[in-house]
Amino acid sequence: MLSKRIIPCLDIRNGQTVKGINFVNIREVGDPVELGKRYSEQGADELVFLDITATHEGRKTFVELVKRIAANLNIPFTVGGGISELKDAEALLAAGADKISINSSAIKNPQLIDDLALHFGSQFVVVAIDARETDNRWEATIHGGRIPTGKELFSWAKEAENRGAGEILFTSMNHDGTKNGFANEALAHLSESLTIPLIASGGAGTMEHFVDLFTNGKADAGLAASIFHFGEIAIPDLKSYLRKAGISVR
């Protein structure tokens, strides 16, 4: 069995790391360069950096900030926010990103997934899906969860895979920031329908939630923010706990 990955997420707004609940009530939590360096030293497997207002505000991700974060890391680094064409991805790759994450731009222009995968390779392309469950239906949203798209989560994830995505990053908006556990039922369904790795986001609150995620949710990686940012769970402690629970981690 492949080792499960633990991935801290840095949501960036105006150059600062922030965190909200259900995508709102956002507050600042620190300098992304320092946080990224800390997580790298603590044994995080990867880091995800998302400029959460880039698409909504119609500007590009902070390339200079990406350079500064990458200079302090020795782990894979995924960057997302405001990527809508090949040259955006090229700039981020040159700045030190190992992968790029696309969300709103992929839904608006699905061909972008094909183009990025063809140009850079599927391993470079992460398709992020922010979805909300309403009346037993999961619907993908865009612009930081502000706009529903009508696209159903599972069919859209499969289309993204077929177009060349190397990974799917699924965030449950119902669970985001609540610390009540991951959307394991939806994750298990996604995992069974996909052949590419699945990263789960939204709902991490305890170490047991990660055990549930990897056993019941069948995800390949667990992404979290506030529990790491506020020191509620230390990455070395989490990995030790998972090993004792019989889950393979790096």
Q: Could you list the active site residues? A: 11, 130
Residue identified by tokens 């500007």 is: 59
Residue 198 phi/psi, 5-degree rounding, is -120, 120
- Distance separating alpha carbons of residues 117 and 164, to the nearest angstrom: 5
Q: Which of 72, 62, 32 shows the shortest CA–CA distance to 48?
A: 32
- Distance separating alpha carbons of residues 41 and 75, to the nearest angstrom: 9
Positive or negative, the CA dihedral 162, 167, 172, 173 is: negative
| Cβ(131)–Cβ(170) below 8 Å | yes
| Cβ(112)–Cβ(85) below 8 Å | yes
